[in-house]
Every structure is written in C-alpha cells, then in structure tokens.
Amino acid sequence: MLSMIGLLGGLVLLIILTLRGVNLFIAAPVCALLVALTSNMAIFPVTDSVNFISAYMDGFAGFLSAWFFMFLLGSLFGKFMEDTGAADSVASYIVGKLGMKHAVLAVVIACAVLTYGGVSVFIVAFSVYPMALSLFKDANLPRRFIPATLAFGSVTFTMTSAGSPEIQNWIPVKYLGTSPYAAWEVSLVVAVFMATVGYYWLNKMIKKAIAKGECFEAREDDPILLERKRPHPITGVIPLFVVLLLSFFLHDVLQQTALIVALLGGVLSIVIINYKYFYNMSAAINVGTTGALVAIGNTAAVVGFGAVAKVSPAFTAAVDAMTHMPGNELVGAA
C-alpha cells in the first residue's frame, strides 16, 4: 500500500514540479527517490539487490545511448531548416495560399507539414509563430489561442500518425517488432478523427471568445516577420520527403536505425540544396547540438524516473491489474 502511495505521489509531484518550471534534472530524481523510499528500496548500490542509483542511471543512460543520434540529427535537421529559411518558406507558402480568411487552418497545416516531415516541434513553433501572430492580428482573433493552434498542428495527429519520423512513433519498433507504418489504416482513421474534431473544437472556442468581445491585443515585444531572401518552398519540401522516403524504404532492413539514416539524409539534402541560404551555419550547428543535448537529457531524466517506478512492487501490481481487466484487452493496454 505504501509503495502504491509513493508511486502515485511521485508521479503527481513530478507533474506539479514540471508545470511549475522546476528543472527536470532535479525534479525527476527527487520524485524517483520518493518512489524508492516508499518501496523500501536501497538507495546506494552496496549489494547486488535492486537500488535507486543503479535503477535510475540504467534507465537514464539506456535511453541516452539508444536515442542520442536521433535527437542530434533531428535537432540539426530542424535547425538547418530554420537557419536557411526553408521552414519559413514552406510555412509562408501555405499561409499565403490560405490567407486571413482561413487563418487558423493555415497555421495548423503549416505546423502539420513541417512536423510530419521530421522538423522538431520547437523549431516549428519558432518558425510559424511570427506568421501566426500576423494572421491572427489581420483577422482580429484572440492571441491567446495561438499556442493552442500551434500545438494542435504539431503534437496531435501528425506526431502520432503512421510513418511520422517523431520518436513517439519509433520507440515501439524495438519492443513490439513492428514498423513505423504499423496499422496505418487505424492510424489514418484516428488522425482524421483527431484533426476533424480538434479543428472543430478549436474554432468553436475561438468563435465563443469573439462573441464575448475578445479580440487581438498587440504587444510592444511582438516579433516582426523579417524580410530576408528565402529559398523556394520546393527546396524546403524536398528534405522533408527525403526523411519520409528513406524511413519508409529502410525500416524493414534497419529497424530503428532507419531513422538515423533518414534524418542524416534530410540534413545532407538541405545542406546540398540550400547551402547558399545559410545565415550562420556554424552557429546553427552549435545551437542544434546544444538543443539536442538538453532535449534528450530532459527526456532521459524522466525515463530514469520510469525505470525506478518499474522496479517498485506497486508498478508490478498496477500492471497486473490493468492486464487482467475484464473485457477487451486493448482497453487494459491503453
């Protein structure tokens, strides 16, 4: 009972600390320590028994070794798309075609295309935000819905759809022996459902806010769309297709490693095609590398928490209860 309280308490505390902005390198180990103490787990590796330090670091280091190159190449790919202006070019083309009348849809599609093509969510947000701000201003829409619009186009139906180069879609490959295109029929139905219902709901909330008198409120520190020479949109789309095609043709042979090859292909293709459009290539490499380390470090910190939780008695009991629920097994799995 105490172990279960510690497991649930540690998870809730981790969520609260994360939302309050506490660094995950501090929050995750502290919450994992709470789980270990309530599970009567040894703290230091003085014996061969399960202990907090070994369990946490095995989870942390295991994730780091398995996914470092994916994070690194993915970060560089996104940063190169940003630095050359290719991401802005693709987003501007989509936004320009749909225009102010369909401001929300334009932002969602721009985010979706870039995310499904393998560009980091963070890069997508920074690339599309100035355009979203300009569109929302012209359409006089409440600016508080801009984050919702960016997130909807980036981290919902595109991130989890079959074939997506995002790691959420590739992690199960190693453990389930499937491909990133597994159950694409179901994925398509779910993606369409998420996109349709999400877009309807988002529009409904915006219209409700407008009916209450909300409108766009400008700020002094609002970013301005910088005028710079950008590459043709097609040169930004080609690297996205390179990532998707390489992952499609190589996933059966290389399994999880196919993502490394695909992202490397994307990085090389954008360097070859848009080399002359780089604003500062060396700075882009430095920022991309640092960003990759921060991103994978934060993720690994949480994975370490999961590794400690996994060896607690409460976790075993919870999994056993979930997998023996009456009815369809998929419900318990979910």
Local confidence band at 117 (pLDDT 50, 70, 90 cut-offs): confident
pLDDT for 183 beyond 90: no
Q: How far apart are CA 277 and CA 73, in angstroms?
A: 20
Q: How far apart are CA 258 and CA 247, in angstroms?
A: 6
CB 158 within 8 A of CB 112: yes
Q: How far apart are CA 2 and CA 11, in angstroms?
A: 14
What mean pLDDT, rounded, does the chain reach?
87
Percent of the chain with pLDDT over 90: 38
Distances (CA, A) of 232 to 85, 95, 195, 238, 277: 9, 15, 28, 11, 10
- Mean pLDDT, residues 43-54: 83
Distances (CA, A) of 175 to 68, 300, 330: 18, 18, 17
CB 149 within 8 A of CB 129: no
Local confidence band at 10 (pLDDT 50, 70, 90 cut-offs): very high
CB 75 within 8 A of CB 291: yes
Q: What is the pLDDT of residues 59-102, one digit of tens each?
A: 999 999 988 998 899 889 888 988 888 888 888 888 778 776 78
Local confidence band at 224 (pLDDT 50, 70, 90 cut-offs): low
Rounded-to-10 torsion of CA 189, 195, 200, 206: 160
User: Cα angle at 143 between 139 and 145, to 5 degrees?
Assistant: 100
Local confidence band at 56 (pLDDT 50, 70, 90 cut-offs): very high
- Mean pLDDT, residues 229-235: 88
Percent of the chain with pLDDT over 70: 98
Radius of gyration (Cα) for the chain, nearest Å? Answer: 22
Q: In terms of Cα–Cα distance, which of 135, 116, 106, 96 is closest to 199? A: 106
pLDDT for 306 beyond 90: yes
Q: Which of 36-40, 82-86, 120-124, 270-274 has the lowest mean pLDDT?
A: 120-124
State the greatest distance between any 2 C-alpha atoms of the chain, in Å, as a whole number. 67
pLDDT for 127 beyond 80: no
Distances (CA, A) of 21 to 9, 14, 218, 326: 18, 11, 26, 39
- Mean pLDDT, residues 151-159: 87
Q: What is the pLDDT of residues 250-291, one digit of tens each?
A: 887 887 788 889 899 999 999 999 999 998 899 999 988 998
Q: Which of 168-172, 197-201, 219-223, 311-315 has the lowest mean pLDDT?
A: 219-223
Number of C-beta neighbours around residue 281 at 10 A: 14
Q: How far apart are CA 124 and CA 88, in angstroms?
A: 9
